Amino acid sequence: MIKNWNKIEGTKYAFSIDGKEIGTVEMVLNLMDTKAIAKIGRNEITIRRTGFWKNTIELTDQNNMLIA
């Protein structure tokens, strides 16, 4: 089983296993809110730091519902 991360462009990467693309991850850099958006199939998960000191990690789905 061969697992690879391939750079698509800028801060966007694709994850593949044995040549089949499983999903993508893209870093969205912003002065006020930096986040990563992971897409696996039809699901989209946003990962961001929250809180006053930005020391908490929050995961939300494509409907902006809190996962963890």
* CB distance 68 to 46 below 8 Å: no
Dig out the tokens for 36 from the structure: 């990563």
pLDDT digits (tens, 9 = 90+) for 4-28: 999 999 999 999 999 999 999 999 9
Residue 7: predicted pLDDT = 96
pLDDT of 51 higher than 90: no
**Percent of the chain predicted with pLDDT > 90:** 84
Q: Residue 24: CB partners within 8 Å, gap ≥ 6? A: 8, 12, 13, 14, 15, 38, 39
Tell me which long-range contacts 29-38 makes (C-beta under 8 A, separation of at least 24).
none
Average pLDDT over residues 48-52: 90
CB atoms inside a 10 Å sphere around CB 7: 9
